[in-house]
Amino acid sequence: PRPLVIAPSILASDFSKLGEEVRAVDAGGADWIHLDVMDGHFVPNISYGPDVIKALRPHTKKIFDAHLMITPCDPYLEAFAKAGCDHITVHAEAGPHLHRSLQAIRALGKKAGVSLNPSTPLNVLDYVLDLVDLVLIMSVNPGFGGQAFIPSAIGKVQDLRAMIAGRPIDIEVDGGVGPNVAGPLAAAGVNAFVAGSSVFKGGTTESYRSNIAAIRNA
Ligand code: DX5
Ligand code: ZN
């Protein structure tokens, strides 16, 4: 089994003090920092891009887990790599050349991830699994934090776990994740838990620490 990790999404943090927020979740026990990049085109919201990520890089040594909700993505992969992202995850739905995108991420020396929207079947992974380090199962429709968890993600994770058959691939889930769904998700095969609003509620390092611990203990 892959190591269990908690990846707070800074989309739910206070954007007026992003560096401080990253240091606070680092101190509170975050394993990875989840970075949601939105373009107002692939998803109906706009967040931040590589320059903001680059500015955050000196604030922590934790893994930068970038989730690109942008199309096209290929022209920007190098910028995200240079900004300090360790994982670069692209959406299977974001373009016709998923295989090429994954090859490009690996060629940049980064871990390559594929994210699937709630309605996207697992079979889009059939011929790319050897290029994948991480699969991100969306448990909300991407674009916004604070949405309700979609329960069909649990069965999808179970099917994905069978499909990856022991390969060294992280199974990550994103959207509506908190202590109430972390247990069933872990049992289904998730090892990496993205959480935005459930981590950042409270607004202090101490609350982040207890919120992260609550997910980990679930
Ligand atoms: C949604 C993003 C998520 C989001 C999660 O498009 O990919 O990472 O920030 O936020 P919560 O945990 O609040 O659902
Ligand atoms: Zn995300």
CB under 6 Å to ligand 1: residues? Answer: 9, 11-12, 34, 36, 67, 140, 142-143, 145-147, 174-177, 194-198
Read off the pLDDT of residues 74-89 as tens digits, 9 standing for 90 and up. 999 999 999 999 999 9
pLDDT beyond 90 at 34? yes
Read off the pLDDT of residues 189-210 as tens digits, 9 standing for 90 and up. 999 999 999 999 999 999 999 9
Model's pTM, two decimal places? 0.98
From 36, 39, 133, 170, active-site residue: 36
Q: Are 48 and 76 in contact (CB under 8 A)?
A: no
Ligand 1 atom at shortest distance from the alpha carbon of 138: 7
Q: Are 87 and 113 in contact (CB under 8 A)?
A: yes
Average pLDDT, the chain: 98
pLDDT at residue 1, rounded to an integer: 80
pLDDT at residue 131, rounded to an integer: 98
For tokens 């670069």, the residue is 88
Q: Which residue ranges form the domains of the chain, and what is each CATH number?
A: 5-217 (3.20.20.70)
Report the chain's C-alpha Rg in angstroms: 16
pLDDT at residue 5, rounded to an integer: 98
